[in-house]
Structure 1
Amino acid sequence: MLAPLDAHLTDARPRHLRPAHRPLVELFYFGIKEARACLFAGLFFLAMFCVPRAGLLGIPRYDVLLAVALAIQAWMLYARLETWDEMKAIGLFHAVGFALEVFKTQIGSWSYPDFGYTKLLGVPLFSGFMYAAIGSYIIQAWRLLDLRIRHHPPYPMAATIAILIYVNFYTHHYIGDYRWYLAACALGLYARTTVIFRPLDRDRQMPLLLGFMLTGFFIWIAENLGTLMGVWRYPNQLGAWSVVHVSKWSAWSLLVIMTFTIVANLKHVKARVHVPA
């Protein structure tokens, strides 16, 4: 069903548009492509908002959400919206995300208050799919927007900063938060990096760091919606809901860098990444 839409969105033949109309048309297509790239995330979060807290047909909410996430993932693989290699990368996102969830809930950073049969160590198994959704978005956007990366830092350096970002999510509870030092390192590494994308029929570009920040911001918005629906809660939200602290925006932006690094190492993606000699 999505094949005709994808064929239209990836059609790069020149469009003859009036100069006054082009910015609006390109913005419209950019929005459509972004929405299409968020297919997994959109369907998953829609289910998150629609499934009642009491669950469905006697099945707890967390278990329903796991079943929905698995069904969406299986459908995308069956429909060839994702390849097996991409599926493996998404599985890695799920694993590292779930491990982080277990650690954070054990130390009380946040909690999943409802019952579920598929909870492991206090964390519902569906939670890893929230991280996998980020990876799925980046993979889909790469294809739909024909992304190309210029002046990407050497892979060993990018991998090192990505690993340190992930490790800091654990260690900052014990040896101090080095988030801003890592952000400064990432700023230096990606200062010259540019992402080239195609909203319609012409290439546009922007700093890759801006892309990281914008993606992190929208994840922060989604996190606010998730806590508002009571799917998970921070300690300060147990009595009454409040906005998730804006510092989480920076944490999500750093997590996007880590996710991007994994995606950039996929074979078919790596061919579109320019690393200066």
Structure 2
Amino acid sequence: MTLTSGATRFARIRARLETLPVAEGPQAWAYEFLLFGFKQGWACLFGGLMLVLLLATHLFYPADAALHRYDFLTLAALAIQGAMLVFRLESWREAKVIAAFHVIGTVMELFKTQAGSWIYPEASLLHIGAVPLFSGFMYAAVGSYIARIWRIFDFSFTHYPPVWATVLLAVAIYINFFAHHWLPDVRLALFAAAILLFGRSWAVFTPWRIPRRMPLLLGFFLVALFIWLAENIGTFANAWTYPDQRDGWHMVSLAKLGSWYLLMIISFVLVSLIHGIKRSPAQIR
């Protein structure tokens, strides 16, 4: 098997699925829905593998292992990332997105753990301060998903706001994640700004033969919801712990959805700067 055979095999499978003859009507709708799910799952490859690792190591990793569990997770994340590049399951452009997310996420982690927003309860050697290095890959998983889905579904947009305005909003959101510990939390104003900027924007994507569209704000919410669900898996796996979970695990507060929604906007804007914004005609089903 060559280094690119895995990617080539997937490309052939995907091409076959794209061209499969399916009768019009309910059968075609069902097939398009399944193909949409398949592509979504493929876009989530990095994040999905990380969640599997978190759960598997929580349940089965030996407590007396010479290598700390957190360090194993860091090395495993590096191996997954390297394999995706070697087998061309991810482009170098997408790797740049992931690297940016890793840096931005680690900086936030250093501050938030110092502020007591959450803790990493297990020991590790591969860490910066109180932050094990695998944590940056959790943010990178979000970046990987957005970058990959952008390409897989050939995103374009209607009524997209000026790029400079979206960058200003993303910077303001990022600053507020830090500043609200000393200054008033302005997230309500940030939500309002997001509605003003993206309220008329639609994402156009092609799951199969016909381009479809969705309000961009709704897309942000759906992805934020799935991240919140993944966060519940992560805290259940003791990858990190919130202060109110120290006496026992329970589901993460729904209020965290707001934080993830704002983080989604940062994530989306970062990816847009690398992929660029392709404008689309408004008449899309």
Interval of TM-score (by shorter of Structure 1 and Structure 2): over 0.9
Equivalent residue letter for 2:37: G
Counting only pairs closer than 5 Å after superposition, residues 62-77 of structure 1 correspond to structure 2 as 62-77=70-85
Relative distance call for 1:113 and 1:264 in structure 2 (3 A) is same
The equivalent residue for 1:142 is 150
Alpha-carbon separation, structure 2, partners of 1:63 and 1:192: 45
Alpha-carbon separation, structure 1, partners of 2:46 and 2:72: 16
Offset of residue 144 of structure 1:
1.4
More off after superposition, 85-94 vs 162-171: 85-94
2:49 counterpart (29, 43, 50): 43
Structure 1: 4+ residue segments shifted above 6 A = none
2:105 counterpart (97, 105, 124): 97
Whether the aligned pair in 2 keeps the contact of 1:47 and 1:65 (CA below 8 Å) is yes
Equivalent residue letter for 2:134: F
Q: Could you list the per-position Cα deviations for residues 29-74 of structure 1 after superposition, in whole angstroms to 9, with x for gaps in the alignment?
A: 1100000000110111111111146568421111000001101111
Offset of residue 183 of structure 1:
0.9
Q: Could you list the per-position Cα deviations for residues 138-195 of structure 1 after superposition, in whole angstroms to 9, with x for gaps in the alignment?
A: 1111121122122211111000000111111111111121111101101110011111
2:273 counterpart (255, 259, 265): 265
The equivalent residue for 1:83 is 91
Counting only pairs closer than 5 Å after superposition, residues 221-260 of structure 1 correspond to structure 2 as 221-260=229-268
Asked if residue 19 in structure 1 is aligned to residue 28 in structure 2, the reply is no
Equivalent residue letter for 1:42: G
Asked if residue 169 in structure 1 is aligned to residue 174 in structure 2, the reply is no
TM-score relative to the length of structure 2:
0.91
Alpha-carbon separation, structure 1, partners of 2:167 and 2:62: 42
Offset of residue 15 of structure 1:
4.4
Equivalent residue letter for 1:193: S
2:37 counterpart (14, 31, 43): 31
Alpha-carbon separation, structure 1, partners of 2:181 and 2:134: 25
Offset of residue 121 of structure 1:
0.8
The equivalent residue for 2:134 is 126
Equivalent residue letter for 2:34: F
1:193 counterpart (195, 201, 212): 201
Alpha-carbon separation, structure 2, partners of 1:126 and 1:180: 31
Offset of residue 22 of structure 1:
2.0
Alpha-carbon separation, structure 2, partners of 1:9 and 1:208: 26
Whether the aligned pair in 1 keeps the contact of 2:204 and 2:280 (CA below 8 Å) is no
TM-score relative to the length of structure 1:
0.93
Report the number of matched residues: 274
Whether the aligned pair in 2 keeps the contact of 1:10 and 1:145 (CA below 8 Å) is no
3-state SS of the aligned residue for 2:181?
coil
3-state SS of the aligned residue for 1:256?
helix
Equivalent residue letter for 1:24: A
The equivalent residue for 1:4 is 9
Whether the aligned pair in 2 keeps the contact of 1:153 and 1:275 (CA below 8 Å) is no
3-state SS of the aligned residue for 1:230?
coil
Identity %: 39
Whether the aligned pair in 2 keeps the contact of 1:90 and 1:136 (CA below 8 Å) is yes
Asked if residue 114 in structure 1 is aligned to residue 122 in structure 2, the reply is yes
Q: Once superposed, what is the RMSD of the aligned Cα atoms?
A: 2.0
3-state SS of the aligned residue for 2:157?
strand
Equivalent residue letter for 1:173: H
